[in-house]
Structure 1
Amino acid sequence: MKFRLASAAILASSLFVGAGASAQTVFSASSWVAPTHPLSVSQKQWCDALEKESAGRMKCNILPKMVSAPPGTFDAVRDGLADISFTVDGYTPGRFVNTQVAEFPFLGDNAIATSVAYQHIYSKYFAPLGEHKGVKVLGVFTHGPGIIFNSKKPVTHASDAASLKWRIGGGNINELTKLLGWNTTLKPATEAFELLSTGVMDGTLFPDESVSAFKLSMIKHATTFPGGLYNTSFVFMMNPAKYDALSAQDKAVVDKLSGEYVARTYGVNWERADDASVNGAQKAQGVARIQASEAFVNEVKAKQAALEDKWVAAAEAKGLKNARGVLAEFRAEIAKIK
């Protein structure tokens, strides 16, 4: 009798443990950059916070390999190949319109201010219009100010850049460099090392961290701009079916860790990586840094004005009211966060 009671207790205990284990929600999280990159670091921090805030009811399984090349990541999350990931809006040209507001030149000098301000504008204006339809948006953010990097010579004017071959990541900077007459090719950041090391490209437009993150030891020259030559719009997202299947309690945890929490997490990590690259890899390999002259800045502004007009028309055609006012509000928000 005692044996039967003990056996029953053990069985009940195992069933309870099994039920508890099956009740845990595990999210597959995919990254297309190295684990040390600020994108991956931020995703891991978010996943750790998710597990802690949910008392272990939710956790992430960080996949050892990306489920898709960077341009296909949005669709991969939408279709459930991964539950969580991030991507660059500009990697799929023409797909997103409103997000281009975060890609314009001269927005800000650090990723924290631009990311948090972008999230505020996104939540207020873009999310209600269905931007990023097909995924559950956890947050949006930008990288640090975009810089001209190359292995050949100082770039002091637009004409200097026109004589070189460039890898760019898409978005507004793709259109801007075309207007400036530069020879550019749209490729993901992950291909930068091969393109530059083989001489297929002479340079790339990147934030500071990328010189270190992608081991671009061939870079010798950098041209910076006040507020950056460009920014890149990112989205951090979840498969909507995975979110919809959560309990109300667990949805509340995800929501708590969305929005500004995401923007600030990614912004802080990117800012740290930018600083580390400037004072580490770039200093070690002797990158010569110059700031764009007023004349160079004005060359860019002259071309960018037409692109902002084009964006205003396109955004308003998609339902955004007073797009020019939204852009002005975005710039004011960045200045306020500083």
Structure 2
Amino acid sequence: MKSYKLLIGALCLGSWSSAAMAQDVTLRFAHWLPAQQALPSTGFKEWTESIHEASRGSIRFQMFPAQQLGSAENHYDMAANGIADITWTNPGYTAGRFPVSDLLQLPFVIGDTLNGSAAATEWYQQYADQEMSEVVMCMIHGHYPGTLHSKEEIRHPDQISGMSIRPATSTIAQFVSELGGASVQVSAPEAREALARGTADAIFFPSGALNLFGIDKTTRYHIDYPVYSSWQAILINRNTYERLNDQQQAVIDDHCNGEWATRVSRGWEEEELAGLEKLRTSPEHTMIELTDEELAAWREAAMPLLENWAERVRDAGYEPESLVTDLRERLAAVDAMVEGALIE
């Protein structure tokens, strides 16, 4: 009799759990990368398939790649306003809007973005509800560190004066301005045309993605050093999240953490490393090995960016020293900082 009751209880529990997940939803996921790029084809694919399976099929996804629902710089507002349920957003595309997250965008900070993505997600989740209140900040991750690619050899920051540079983010645009250059503000998919037309002389970009966007055809010189990393966030429209039932929200929560930030990034990192190796071995490209003195000059030139960042977050009501210390300790714990980091 006792075993019979246990069996009935188990069957009832199974029926309740299935019913709890029975609210089928299809979430519109927008990003601005080509669908064949490594991040959508590996990281996004693994993440969405895992959510679908964990939700017992009740959460599905409809993907909108390549700026189909809006331009790259508008993806935060697309998530906030419900144009998409989920977006992949570069907070650095909107100058000054998310000052805390801008610490990640500073040059000469993070050298290991794979381990650094887990640390950064855990760090930024403490502040995202205040800084990105219209959305649920699921995770934030960086691409393998990018560098400066140019038509002519550039070794010293003084050479930037008078040049036109396509920056990776608003923070790098400030860097270009500090160095006396002019920023050419175009999205990644539009960068090749800007270089080909002569609108831009050089570009801050991840090395592996040069081939994907055809930028390797217009740039021949590449600083062989992790200058910066661009950080992107997976964001969920808050109303969309709140409409999910408790069990579905739990599934989403289980997929919004540092572990998944690393898992999502892994395929992209492998593609970037392969692209970097291709540049290093190509007779058509020149890798620039900076001297210690040249590296020191680049880092010194970047110091005003850290000072400006500290002033902006202080104005926003944060203690910059506390933010830096917290991030530094988390990155150091996983050996993710670049040698001689700006925040050491």
The TM-score bracket by the shorter chain reads 0.7 to 0.9
Q: Paired residue for 1:48?
A: 49
Alignment of 1:1-338 (within 5 A): 23-41=23-41, 42-63=43-64, 66-124=68-126, 126-128=127-129, 130-151=130-151, 153-162=152-161, 164-216=163-215, 217-225=217-225, 228-280=226-278, 283-284=281-282, 286-321=284-319, 323-338=320-335
- The 2-side partners of 1:76 and 1:162 are apart by 36
Q: Paired residue for 1:8?
A: none
Secondary structure of 1:219's aligned partner:
coil
| Range with greater deviation from structure 2 (135-144 or 35-44) | 35-44
Task: Give ranges in structure 1 of 5+ residues lacking alignment.
Answer: 1-18
Alpha-carbon distance, 1:95 to partner: 1.0
Secondary structure of 2:138's aligned partner:
strand
Secondary structure of 2:284's aligned partner:
coil
Contact 1:170 1:186 in 2 (8 A): no
What does the per-residue CA deviation read over 1:77-136, in whole Å, with 9 as the maximum and x for residues that have no partner? 111111111111121112110011101222232320221221121123x235x1212111
Q: What letter corresponds to residue 257 of structure 2 in structure 1?
A: G
- The 2-side partners of 1:293 and 1:108 are apart by 20
| Range with greater deviation from structure 2 (210-219 or 282-291) | 282-291
Q: Paired residue for 1:12?
A: none
| Range with greater deviation from structure 2 (52-61 or 295-304) | 295-304
Contact 1:114 1:334 in 2 (8 A): yes
Secondary structure of 2:184's aligned partner:
strand
When the two chains are superposed, the root-mean-square deviation of aligned CA atoms in Å is 2.3
Secondary structure of 1:270's aligned partner:
helix
Count of aligned residue pairs for this structure pair: 314
Alpha-carbon distance, 1:22 to partner: 8.1
Secondary structure of 2:131's aligned partner:
coil
Alpha-carbon distance, 1:235 to partner: 1.3
Alpha-carbon distance, 1:147 to partner: 0.3
Secondary structure of 2:125's aligned partner:
helix
Contact 2:104 2:231 in 1 (8 A): yes
TM-score, L = length of structure 1: 0.86
Alpha-carbon distance, 1:284 to partner: 4.4
What does the per-residue CA deviation read over 1:1-51, in whole Å, with 9 as the maximum and x for residues that have no partner? xxxxxxxxxxxxxxxxxx999831111111211012244232222111111
- The 1-side partners of 2:297 and 2:312 are apart by 24
- The 2-side partners of 1:163 and 1:138 are apart by 40
Contact 1:196 1:203 in 2 (8 A): yes
- The 1-side partners of 2:69 and 2:251 are apart by 26
Secondary structure of 2:89's aligned partner:
strand
- The 2-side partners of 1:52 and 1:21 are apart by 11
Contact 2:106 2:305 in 1 (8 A): no
Cα distance, 1:120–1:173 mapped onto 2, change above 3 Å: same
Contact 1:190 1:214 in 2 (8 A): yes
Task: Give ranges in structure 2 of 5+ residues lacking alignment.
Answer: 1-18, 336-344
What does the per-residue CA deviation read over 1:227-246, in whole Å, with 9 as the maximum and x for residues that have no partner? x2222221111111111011
Taking every aligned residue pair, what percent have the same amino acid on both sides?
A: 20
Q: What letter corresponds to residue 291 of structure 1 in structure 2?
A: E
Q: What letter corresponds to residue 27 of structure 1 in structure 2?
A: L
- The 2-side partners of 1:237 and 1:305 are apart by 30
What does the per-residue CA deviation read over 1:298-332, in whole Å, with 9 as the maximum and x for residues that have no partner? 223223222212212221222223x2242133233
Q: What letter corresponds to residue 146 of structure 1 in structure 2?
A: G
Secondary structure of 1:186's aligned partner:
coil
TM-score, L = length of structure 2: 0.84
Secondary structure of 1:160's aligned partner:
helix
- The 1-side partners of 2:184 and 2:84 are apart by 28
| Range with greater deviation from structure 2 (263-272 or 279-288) | 279-288
Secondary structure of 1:46's aligned partner:
helix
